[in-house]
Amino acid sequence: MADYHFNEKISLPFEKVYEWQKAIYMAAGMSEEDASVVADHLVMADARGVYSHGILRTSIYTSRLEKGGTDPKAQPSIKKQFGATALVDGNNAMGMVAAKKGMDLAIELAKTYGTSAVSVTGSNHLGTCAYYAQQATREHMIGICWTINCGNIMAPWGGAERQLGNNPFAMAVPCFHRPDIVLDMATSVVARGKIVMARKTHSPIPITWALDADGNPTTDAEAGYWGTVRPFGDYKGYGLTLINAIFSAILNNSSFGPTITDFYEEPEKIQNTGHLMQVINIDAIDDSLEFRKRMDEAVAYLKNGKKAPNVSEIFVPGEIEARTYERQRREGITYPIEVIEENRAIALRYNIPESLRL
Window 56-115: residues binding a copy of itself (CB under 8 A)? 80, 82-85, 87, 112-115
Q: 37-50 burial string, b = 16+ CB within 10 Å, else e?
A: bbbbbbbbbbbbbb
CB 123 within 8 A of CB 90: yes
Residue 30 burial (10 A CB sphere; 0-12, 13-18, 19+): buried
**Identified binder of a copy of itself from the candidate list 5, 201, 202, 308, rule CB under 8 A:** 308
Selected binder of a copy of itself within 315, 324, 338, 356 (CB under 8 A): 315
CB-based contact 167:146 (threshold 8 Å):
yes
Is 186 exposed, middle or buried (CB count within 10 Å of its CB: 0-12, 13-18, 19+)?
buried
Query: Per CB under 8 A, does 156 bind a copy of itself?
Result: yes
Does 232 contact a copy of itself by CB under 8 A?
yes
Backbone angles phi, psi at 191, to 5 degrees: -65, 145
**Whose Cβ is closer to a copy of itself: residue 70's or residue 137's?**
137
Cβ contact 150:121 at 8 Å: no
Nearest-approach distance from CB 305 to a copy of itself, in angstroms: 4
How far apart are CB 235 and a copy of itself at their closest, in Å? 8
Interacting span for a copy of itself (CB under 8 A) from 1-9, 122-130, 279-287, 330-338: 279-287
Among 5, 7, 201, 214, binds a copy of itself (CB under 8 A): 214
* Rounded CA separation 30/21 (Å): 12
Of 19, 59, 22, residue with least CA distance to 341: 59
Instruction: Kindly tell me which of 42 and 164 has the beta carbon lying closer to a copy of itself.
Output: 164
Nearer to a copy of itself, 244 or 271 (CB): 244
Q: Is 164 helix (H, G, I), strand (E, B) or coil?
A: strand
**In whole angstroms, what is the distance from residue 14 CA to residue 110 CA?**
31
Site residues (CB under 8 A) for a copy of itself, limited to 136-155: 142, 155
DSSP H or E segment with residue 119 = strand 115-123
Q: Which one of the spans 18-26, 34-42, 50-58, 229-237 is the region binding a copy of itself (CB under 8 A)?
A: 229-237
Cβ-based nearer residue to a copy of itself, 203 or 216: 216
- Which of the stretches 51-59, 94-102, 182-190, 323-331 binds a copy of itself when contact is defined by CB under 8 A? 182-190
Which residue lies nearer to a copy of itself by CB, 266 or 283?
Answer: 283
Of 269, 267, 268, whose CA–CA distance to 259 is shortest?
269
Indicate which single residue of 286, 326, 331, 341 sits in contact with a copy of itself (rule: CB under 8 A). 286
Select from 97-105, 194-202, 248-256, 341-349 the region that touches a copy of itself (CB under 8 A): 248-256
Nearer to a copy of itself by Cβ, of 5 and 301: the residue is: 301
Question: Of 295, 333, 339, 346, which one interacts with a copy of itself (CB under 8 A)?
Answer: 295
Binder of a copy of itself out of 13, 29, 159, 332 (CB under 8 A): 159
Do the bridges between strand 115-123 and strand 85-89 make them parallel or antiparallel, or are there none, so unpaired? parallel
Minimum CB distance to a copy of itself smaller for 37 or for 130:
130
Among 245, 333, 339, 340, indicate the residue that binds a copy of itself (CB under 8 A): 245
CB-CB contact of 298 with 163 (8 Å): no
Q: Which is nearer to a copy of itself, 47 or 282 (CB)?
A: 282
What burial letters (b/e) apply to 52-77, b meaning 16+ CB within 10 Å? Answer: bbbbbbbebbbbbbeeebbbbebebe
Determine, following the binding rule CB under 8 A, whether residue 134 of this chain makes contact with a copy of itself. no
Q: What is the dihedral of CA 156, 250, 270, 351, to 10 degrees?
A: -90
Q: Which of 247, 263, 325, 335 contacts a copy of itself by CB under 8 A? A: 247
DSSP-based three-state secondary structure for 175: coil
- Interacting residues with a copy of itself between 7 and 36 (CB under 8 A): none
